[in-house]
Every structure is written in structure tokens, then in C-alpha cells.
Chains A and B, each alone.
Chain A
Amino acid sequence: MTDKPLLSVRGLTIDIPVASGTLHAVRGIDFELMKGETLCIVGESGSGKSLTSLALMGLLGGRISRRASRADFDGTDLIAASNRQMRRLRGARMAMIFQEPMTSLNPAYTIGDQLIEALLLHKKVGRAAARDRAVALLEKVGITSAASRLGQYPHQLSGGLRQRVMIAMALMCEPDLLIADEPTTALDVTIQAQILRLLVDLQREMNMAMILITHDLGVVARIADKVAVMYAGELVETGPAADIFNAPTHPYTRGLINCIPVPGKTARGAKLGTIPGIVPSLVGEVTGCPFRTRCSEAVPACRGEIPVRTRHAGRQRILCVHEDGQRAASEVPA
């Protein structure tokens, strides 16, 4: 591991034009990722997690604009890169797995065709070699009789198998970064665990960096090196996984972690934590802390500029008016 991060993002902003104005879907988020590290981005649906990953891959639709003061992937500026440069990067050095295995594979081609294509697009190897690699990877992702699967069509496979194929496809060129956007949400609970296990194993084995997007904190606790908690387009808390789980600081993070039942600790029948309220509209000017409408620690200052606070020697960062994420007894609630 070198000290230079593989991926470094500063001030990533994503705007979507809508009928009633501009939807400020992601507003100036920062994070970085070392080679071989796993970053989990956690948040509710609609918080901008998927948009962030699509923005990194350059796969946002044409009408959506993105900008950042820095978006460096191993020396390439992801925002300024030409279409051609991005195409060389995509699939080869940064790969992505999507939420919907059922619809993410092209129904008209065999999985063999689709796997082989992923390699041939970037590497000058023969078809036979590509085929061998496809078989090897299918075996690696735990698909039995891999060679005979190559001729099958996506509709002949179950969701779990398709997601394994998607993973194999993403790994065809041994990428340095794998972005997995809720790769297990659409799957059965039993399959979910298998797929996650597989992702973690492969990531360690191939020493890839991974960005895992999820709303499942249980998953995060088990596999993340770093955690970024996203709320309404902002990263409200980032830091090493251990720190965040030991000492969640932002009120939203604390709320999320309280929602996880802990076997043995949570009494049967006890109420799990909930966070009341709804996410504010992000259309038009967004000021202050977006969480203040649901926050038990909210004070009048939450409407203004929100300072970045660092803890644990700068490793953990939170966006909150309170030093430690908690309202002092002397402060007036908003």
C-alpha cells in the first residue's frame, strides 16, 4: 500500500434539472479510498448513493450535471476525462455491479458472449483465451459446471446466479476498483449473505479497492474498512468503520445504528430505534443541515452554515453544529 489514495474525491456535486427547478441531489461530498480498501456508503434510498457511483463511472444520463474540485482515480481526472479515456477505464480499471441482476444482463446474448466481450473490449487476447478466463472466473464466483454455462442465456439463470455472472463480468479485466451498488438488495436473504461473502473474498484475493453501496448497516459492520454515511446528498459522517461503530457521532449515524437489533442485547419486544420524519426536498437552494427536521439535537444554528468537525486525529469527520453531535443541555432546541 502506498500513501497515495487510489481514488480521491473532493466536493463532488450532482445536479438534476427537473420541472420545478434544479434538484441538488449530491452536494459537495469528499472521500478517498486506498488500494485494496473497502468503503461502504450507507444511506436511505434517495440519499444520492447510486448517483455518486454512477457519477464516478461517468454513467449519469445526459441531462444530469456533475462537478468536483477533485475526482482523481490513480492519476486520471474522472470529471475532465474524455469519453474515450473513460471508456478505457470503465470495465478495465474500474468496474461496477448493479442492484438488479434480473435486468442487468442483455437477454439477447449468452452469458459467455457477455463475459468474453468484457475482456475483449480492453485486452488484446484471443477468443479462446477470453473463454478460458470466463470459465475460470465463473468457477471463482462459485458457479458449477462453468464451461457449460457459457452457452446459457440470462433468463435461464436465477437471480443469485445472474449476480454471480455480473460479478465475474466485472472482474474479467482485474479492475483496481469495484463499485457494487446494492448488489444484494434484489436477492433472497440467504443468497445475499453468499454474494457478500463472495465479494469480500474476491476483493481480498485480488487486492481490489471496493465501494459498496448499501443501506444495510449489518453488512457494513462486517466488511467495511471505511464508512461514509450519506444523508440527502451529503456525507454527514465519514471515518474508519471501527470508530464509527464504536463511537457514532452524527445524530443521523447514531439513529441508524440504534435501528440495528443486536442479538442478546435487544430485549424481545423492545422497540427498535426509529428516525421520525421525512427527507426534505432538495429542489432549489438547500441551506443548513438537511437532517435538522428529523434531528433530536437540532438547534436554531442548524439552519446556517454547518461546520466540518474532525475527531480521532482527523480520521473521522462529521457535519454537525455540535462538537460531538449532541446538543448541550444549555442550548435551546429548534
Chain B
Amino acid sequence: MLRFILRRLGLAVLVALTVSFISFSLLFLSGDPAIAIAGEGANENDIAAIRKLYGFDRPMLLQYWDWLSSALRFDFGESYYFRLPVADLIADRLSVTMILGVCGISFALLLAVPLGVLAAIRPNSIIDRVALFLSVAGQAMPSFWFGLILIVVFSINLRWLPASGAESWRHFILPTIVLGYYAMPAIMRLTRAGMLEVLSADYVRTARAKGAPEGLVLFKHALRNAIIPVVSLAAVQMGFMLGGSIVVESIFALHGAGYLAWESIGRNDLPTVQALILVFSLFYIVFTFLADVLNAWLDPRMRSS
């Protein structure tokens, strides 16, 4: 188990380093970042000065090394637009995105797991069909459109919920639904498939042969085994969701990290964008690492090896 964790950790660090390099290189995608910073109408001298100021005249690998070593100390440089440390900007905005992510994945799990279980218990029943419909529709629904529809219905017509902002918990309801619904189909399908497989397993028959009541058979004996892969998927989806929160945050004007990313991209604020890409990637890497460890711990076969 310890060996597994260490190996997995090594992989996570390696992936993180590679991602950091890629997000750093984005800066050079346009050619000369100095021109971008100087803005239109800057003369050659200004650009040369900026190039020197930001150190763009040095070899790229050296610049990467500097950037990385500062990043390790949570120093991502200064935002071109806000003229503030990027780390502070992000730290400010992260809580909103985290709340949204946690709410979103909880919503997805609370909807998807029970639906998947019910669908597996009664294949081809009404519930199974409803679950299938919800997941097929969910996969095809553009989340920005879904968000706008919810605003039209619940904010504009019914006036039940606010359409934008993050002042109270009520502001998070619609964004949670939009973000969570995005992760729901995959989790539902995996739960259903896993339960279907486990319910026909020999050990479930053994549990019934022992005289275990159906509830115990379903939840203690079946779900416990079917849920293991769902944990991994939920972590992956959580990572994707944080990355995807950019759309949701922009629709509902939730000033989280996703919103900051959208603003910064529009303003060509590259240090902020770089840092955000790295932060979102790190979240994904950490979640999947934790999920793998949790997974290994949940599965006795892996725990003892």
C-alpha cells in the first residue's frame, strides 16, 4: 500500500511539473509577450524595456526555472491588469469556486448514485428509463444554455432565486444544479453498470442465502463493491468541474477563480491565466491522487498488496 502511494505520488508530481511547463509555455505561444504587455501603439524602445524588465530576453528554460521556483513559494508574479500579486488574486477567488465545486459534486452524487442504484435494481423499469433519459439529455445539454434556461425560469419568471452574485447560499443553488448536472450522467451510468454487475455476483447470492434482508443485500453487500469505481470517477469529475466552472461562473456572475480566468483571458493577463491553469490542474491532480489512495483503501485486495 505504501509503495503504491509513493509511486502514485511520484506520478502526480511528474504530471504537475509537465503541466506547469505547458502552462508556462502558453506565454510564448503568441511569439513575443512583451508586445502583448506593451499594448498597441508602443514603440520599439518601450517593448525593449519591457522585455528587459520582465526578463523575456533570457533563455526560455531559465525563465521557466525562475517562474517555477517562485511558483513553489506561491509567488506567481504580478497581474498585468490588476497590478497585484497573482497569488493573492487567486486566493481571494478560490473559495467561491471551491464551494461551487463541492456543492456541484455533492448534487451530482446525490442525484446519480440513488438513480443508478434504482435503475440497476429494476432494469428496464420506468425509473431505469427516466435515469437513462436524464443521463442522455444531460450529456447533450450545453451547460451555458441550461444555466440560461434556469435563469429564465427561476429568476425571471418565477423570481424564486437570484440570477447572479454570490452573496448568500441561495445564489449558489442554480450554479450548483448546472455544474452538478454536468457530472451526473457519467456517475449515474457507472453506478448502474457497477450495480448490475455486482447484483449478479455470487457473493450477493451468498448474502441472500444467509437470510440477509434485501436492504442489507443491496447496500452492505452490493453497493459497497459497486461504489469503488464511482469514487474514482467522482474525483475525476470534480477536477473537470472546477475547470468547467469558468462557464458557470460567467453565466451567474459568481466571482470565483473561473470568473477571474475568463476576465484575465479577455484582458490578456497572462501571469494570472498561467497560474490559474496550473492551479486548476493541481486540483485535478490532487483529487485523482486522493481518489486513487481512497480507492486502494476501499478495495481490500489493493489495500493489502
Contact = CB atoms under 8 A, between A and B. Distances in A.
Is chain B in direct contact with chain A in the complex (CB below 8 A)? yes
Interface of A: 57, 59, 83, 87-92, 95-96, 98, 100, 103-110, 117-118, 121-122, 153, 155-156, 166, 169
Contacts of B202: 98, 100, 103-104
A107 B212 CA distance: 17
B201 A118 contact: no
8 contacts: A59-B208, A91-B210, A91-B211, A107-B225, A108-B300, A118-B210, A153-B300, A156-B304
Contact of B301 (A92, A107, A118): A107
B203 A103 contact: yes
B301 A117 contact: no
Tell me what chain B mostly uses at the interface: helix, strand, loop, or mixed: helix
Contacts of B304: 153, 155-156
Contacts of A117: 210, 212
A88 B212 CA distance: 9
Contacts of A110: 300
A121 B211 contact: yes
Given A98-B202, A107-B301, A59 B207 contact: no
Contacts of B205: 59, 98, 104
B159 interface: no
B224 interface: yes
Contacts of A105: 203, 206
A121 B217 CA distance: 12
Contacts of B221: 106
Contacts of B29: none
Interface of B: 201-203, 205-214, 221, 224-225, 298-301, 304
Nearest to A58: B208
A221 B208 CA distance: 32
B27 to A, nearest CB: 48
B231 to A, nearest CB: 13
A106 B207 CA distance: 8
B211 A103 contact: no
B35 to A, nearest CB: 60
A87 B210 CA distance: 8
A104 B208 CA distance: 11
Contacts of A92: 211
Contacts of A122: 211
A95 B213 contact: no
B225 A87 contact: no
Nearest to A103: B202
B206 A89 contact: no
B206 A90 contact: no
Contacts of A166: 206
B223 to A, nearest CB: 10
A98 B205 CA distance: 9
Q: Taking each of B205, B221, B224, B298, which has the highest tally of chain A beta carbons within 10 Å of its own beta carbon? A: B205
Contacts of B214: 83
B152 to A, nearest CB: 44
Nearest to B225: A108
Q: Taking each of B203, B207, B212, which has the highest tally of chain A beta carbons within 10 Å of its own beta carbon? A: B203
A98 B203 CA distance: 10
Given A107-B203, A121-B212, A156-B304, 12 more contacts: A59-B205, A88-B211, A91-B209, A103-B201, A104-B203, A104-B205, A106-B207, A106-B225, A107-B301, A108-B299, A117-B212, A122-B211
A216 to B, nearest CB: 21
A82 B211 CA distance: 13
A107 B302 CA distance: 11
B203 A106 contact: yes
Contacts of B201: 103
Contact of A95 (B209, B212, B299): B209
Nearest to A61: B200
A187 to B, nearest CB: 15
B278 to A, nearest CB: 37
Contact of B208 (A88, A90, A108): A90
A315 to B, nearest CB: 31
B209 A108 contact: no
Contacts of A153: 300-301, 304
B209 A107 contact: no
A90 B209 contact: yes
Q: Taking each of A88, A89, A118, A166, which has the highest tally of chain B beta carbons within 10 Å of its own beta carbon? A: A118
A320 to B, nearest CB: 35
B203 A90 contact: no
B206 A104 contact: yes
Contacts of A121: 210-212
A149 B299 CA distance: 18
A87 B211 contact: yes
Contact of A96 (B203, B209, B299, B300): B209
A83 B213 CA distance: 9
Contacts of A100: 202
A89 B210 CA distance: 9
B300 to A, nearest CB: 4
Q: Taking each of A59, A88, A108, A155, which has the highest tally of chain B beta carbons within 10 Å of its own beta carbon? A: A108
Contacts of A90: 208-211
What are the nearest 5 A-B pairs in CB distance?
A: A91-B211, A91-B210, A90-B211, A153-B300, A103-B202
A59 B299 CA distance: 27
Contacts of B225: 106-108
A90 B217 CA distance: 14
